[in-house]
Structures are given as C-alpha cells and as structure tokens.
Amino acid sequence: QVQLVESGGGLVQDGGSLRLSCVASGRTFSAYAMGWFRQAPGKEREFVAAIRWSNGDTYYADRLKGRFTISGDNVKNTVYLQMNSLKPEDTAVYYCAAQYYTGSYYLSEPRDYGYWGQGTQVTVSS
C-alpha cells in the first residue's frame, strides 16, 4: 500500500518561501513518477511539477518555472517542493502524487496518478 504524507505548509507573506516535503512509503519507488499538484477553493486541481525517481528528470508547469523547484531524496524516499517568491495566488492545498511509470512522457494530469497524499495548506498573505 503506497502512502504519501505531505508536510511543510503554512502561512507566509507575499514574497516569502516555503519547502514542502512528501514522504513516500509502501513500495520501492525507483520506477515511479512523483508529482505536486495544487487546488485553490473553487478551482480545479492543477499541475505544479513532476520528477522521475529513475533519473531525476523534472518537469514544471510553465507559469511556475523559475519560482518552484522539485527535487527528490532516494534514500529518504522524500520529494520536496521548494517555493520561492510566493504570491497570494499561490494559496492552495498542495498535494503529492505518485504513479508507477516507465514511459517517456511526463505525467501532468491528476488522472495520471493513482496515489495521493492528504494535502498541506499553503496560504500566502498580501
């Protein structure tokens, strides 16, 4: 049973930074894709970033490139999302997701992922 546990959310001021963590357990994740998504009130869940455990390749939503960085620690089975220059519009619940995947595409849709964490709230005040 795959389990994903996010942490690191909180309240931060406009322009601040946060680092989210997602600890994965229950599998060997070397052939998994890991993703971060977010969902603001009244909006659909949207893709933020993804990483492949196998080679460390990363992929970002275009409008978040340069501010957000995804990384992984294979020893700790943990995926991180470093968020800098945060804006009020970044306010959302942030979710970690995982999916067994050995293909060549990047998984960037919620329907691509079968395992989800419970989410962590990020609030950016103006």
> What is the average per-residue pLDDT within 5-33?
95
Beta-bridge partner residues of 98: 34, 115
CA atoms within 13 A on the CB side of 122: 31
- Residue 103 pLDDT: 86
- Residue 53 pLDDT: 86
Q: What is the pLDDT of residues 43-83, one digit of tens each?
A: 999 999 999 988 889 999 999 989 999 999 989 999 999 99
Q: In what order do the strands lie in the sheet with 3-7?
A: 3-7, 18-25, 78-83, 68-73
